[in-house]
Amino acid sequence: MPDQQPDLQEFTDAVKPFTDFLSKNFPKGICVSDIRDIFGRQYVDLAQEGGGIHGIALAGYTYILEKMGVRFMKMAGTSAGSINTLLLNAVYTNEEADELRKRGSKIVKDVKYYETRSEKVLEYLAKKDLREMIDGHQLWRTIFLNLFAPKSSGEYLKSKFYFYKKLIIILGITLSTLLVSSVASAIYPVENGLRLAFVLITILSAVSVATILAWLFSRLLIGRLMYRFAEFLGINPGDNFETWITNILVENGIENTEDLNKKFTEESDVFNPQYNPCDPIIPKEGLTHSPVQSTANMDEIIEKVKTEPNVENLISELRSVLFPDKSLEETDAEHKLDLIMNAFEVRLRQEKSITRELVIVSSDITHEIKVEFPGMHKMYWGNDYQTVSPAKYVRASMSVPIFYKPFQVNFVEGQMETIREEWNKIMKTGAGPKDQAIFVDGGLLSNFPINVFYNPDLPVPRKPTFGIRLEYQEDYQSTRINDIMGLAGSLISTMRFFYDREFALKHDLYKKTVRSVDTGKIHWLNFYLHEQNKIELFFRGALSATIFLAHHAITDEEVEKLINEGNHVAFRKGTFSIYDNQKKNDFRTEDKLKANLVFEWQSYKKERLKNRIYNEDLKDNIKTQASMKNLPSK
């Protein structure tokens, strides 16, 4: 039974080999973005997947990113990903808090902060007894804490099966004994010791049968009571979780959604993130041949890149005029691409829209839509930003069906006019909403919202969108369906991953910025998490982030050395291994198992532009095939 929660120092000590490795190999940092603030920190957008208890691994991943000077401009998350998303936006680093206090901020509270925001989030996670989040009836609490405990759900169910099997066998034997002894005592005519023994056996058997039947009846009664406690659409109310998040927000000066918006505004004004390339593209001199001499002047093309307001027209012209036959020598093609990239940098310097965004995904099953908070706040609360805590967004996002009761919003009559107007504006419907909305886990529709920040108007990105997935699994792997349970599971999985996989299919370059965290054998609903398991999840997240950041500049052998660190993770006065004894160093990551997914910022920007100029959209290819024009002729 977990008794002593690990402290913050134990988490950071466990991943010190990774921070030391990155500091040693990249003393000047790693270039991952062209947006920087007054502290010199780089900014990326970040999407975080849902995954229950595995969310601790997200903190390990973001901790490594922050230690390398990376901060987050736009953030999106679902379920567990929404928790880390909101908390990272709620807290500060000590450097940020000091700067804001100097400038007279009234938002920053007298709270201890650290070098990274992830450390503050981790402090809250470390102090939280996760078992408290199972806040339903004690009977359900006992079942769930044992069902997903480290000994595994299979062992627990198996033990219960054998227990009831033995009980039924005992009941059968006792009933048989009762029957035989009753008959024997009834037909045995002589009043002696043998008949008395039959009578005593009959009485004992009857008492035993009555006791077993009474116990089984009590189990049935308890089962009915358990159903009653769960019949309001979910087993656990989720109140403990919402209160926990609310208190964290209040401690950091955020009592409502309006406070969070003020915090965003103040940080943007003070930290002042601006376009500032870490390694500007400088075209090589000496290459004068132009592939467009017969159709256009290169200077005119470059000028259009800098000023053309319509991006689609610009891309179309670059595709049709610059390299119509793709037959240039590589050096010449690269020179032209450098010229174009340089022109885009001029264009990007003129862009002023560097905005903070927060997206928390939930599923509105009353109106059958995917919801993104706080962007769709007015559709449910109208103009009430003063009494609604952002904790409600996360509570709506993490409502795992059945496990938690759905989150419910009853529309306030005084806000209905605004609510109807917002529904009509966004949903393009005159019918308006019902009188309430019921939300379940956002993962039901989009468990990994990598698509929410995609901007087709910027063919050359100013910053990448990083993504953190939980539980490594092969994309598009087939599933054999043999029974009704397999059918139901596949139906749910198809719904959960449809949005996210469709986007990945059309924009495969995002695979270079997305990494999965191999969470090992720790079940995502194991709220009975031991201290060592918390450290392990954090370590696994940090390991995945370290390999992702460094792989472009290190060898495969060095990657293996990093993975090998999992054999001796520092904890308390000793070490432990995250690997199964039978499978040493069995850590799965896209960097290790898939080719051509190494991320390096400058080459990534070029690939994004090439993709936009040269490659037809996959959707167009599918449409072309659907038209049946390209079917082979006989």
Rounded to whole angstroms, the maximal C-alpha distance in the chain is 125
Measured distance CA(494)–CA(378) in Å, rounded: 30
Check pLDDT > 60 for residue 579.
yes
The pLDDT value recorded for residue 291 is 42
Q: Which of 74-88, 314-328, 484-498 has the highest mean pLDDT?
A: 74-88
Q: Which two tokens stand for residue 629?
A: 């024009």
In sequence order, the 6+-apart residues with CB closer than 8 A to the CB of 237 are 135, 136, 404, 405
Q: Is a pLDDT exceeding 70 seen at residue 440?
A: yes
Q: Say which range, 38-47, 144-153, 257-266, 323-332, has the weakest mean pLDDT.
A: 323-332
Q: What pLDDT score does 500 carry?
A: 74
- pLDDT at residue 85, rounded to an integer: 97
- State the pLDDT at residue 293: 41
Give Rg (Cα) of the chain.
30
Over range 438-450, report the average pLDDT: 90
For the stretch 510-554, pLDDT in tens is 889 999 999 988 887 787 778 899 999 999 999 999 999 999 999
User: How many other CB atoms are there within 10 angstroms of residue 507's CB atom?
Assistant: 18
Q: Is the pLDDT of residue 341 over 50?
A: yes
CA distances from residue 377 to 90, 402, 441, 470 in whole angstroms, order as listed: 18, 25, 17, 28
Q: Supply the pLDDT for residue 287.
A: 40
Of 75 and 615, which is predicted with more confidence?
75
pLDDT digits (tens, 9 = 90+) for 116-167: 999 999 999 988 988 888 887 777 777 766 666 655 445 555 666 667 677 7
The 10s digit of each residue's pLDDT in 378-407 is: 999 999 999 999 999 999 999 888 888 999
Mean pLDDT of 69-73: 97
pLDDT band for position 282 (cuts 50, 70, 90): low
Residue 77's H or E segment, with its range, is strand 70-78
Whole-number Å distance between alpha carbons of 369 and 374: 15
Residue 415, pLDDT above cutoff 90: yes
Please give the pLDDT value at position 286: 42
Which contiguous run of DSSP H or E holds residue 515? Answer: strand 514-517
Task: Name every residue whose Cβ is closer than 8 Å to that of residue 133 and which is 6 or more positions away in sequence.
Answer: 236, 238, 240, 241, 244, 527
Mean pLDDT of 459-478: 83
User: Residue 2: is its pLDDT beyond 60?
Assistant: no
Residue 45 DSSP SS3: strand
The verdict on pTM exceeding 0.85 is: no
List Cα–Cα distances, 519 to 29, 55, 130, 536, 590, in angstroms: 27, 10, 17, 8, 14
* pLDDT at 3 > cutoff 70: no
Of residues 430 and 417, the one with the higher pLDDT is 417
Given a cut of 70, whether residue 556 has pLDDT beyond it is yes
Above 70 in pLDDT, residue 345?
Answer: yes
Residue 295 has pLDDT above 50, yes or no: no
Highest-confidence segment of 206-220, 287-301, 472-486: 206-220
What's the confidence (pLDDT) of residue 433?
A: 84
Q: Thinking of the domain 1-136+238-273+354-479+507-594, which architecture would CATH place it in?
A: 3-Layer(aba) Sandwich (3.40)
3-class SS at 32?
coil
Name the average pLDDT for the chain: 82
More confidently predicted of 268 and 594: 268
596 compared with 92, residue with greater pLDDT: 92
**What does the domain layout of the chain look like in residue ranges?**
1-136+238-273+354-479+507-594, 139-231
Residue 505 confidence (pLDDT) = 74
- pLDDT score for 315: 79
Q: Is the pLDDT of residue 290 over 80?
A: no
What's the rounded mean pLDDT across residues 82-87? 96
pLDDT at position 328 over 50: no
Q: Is the pLDDT of residue 110 over 70?
A: yes
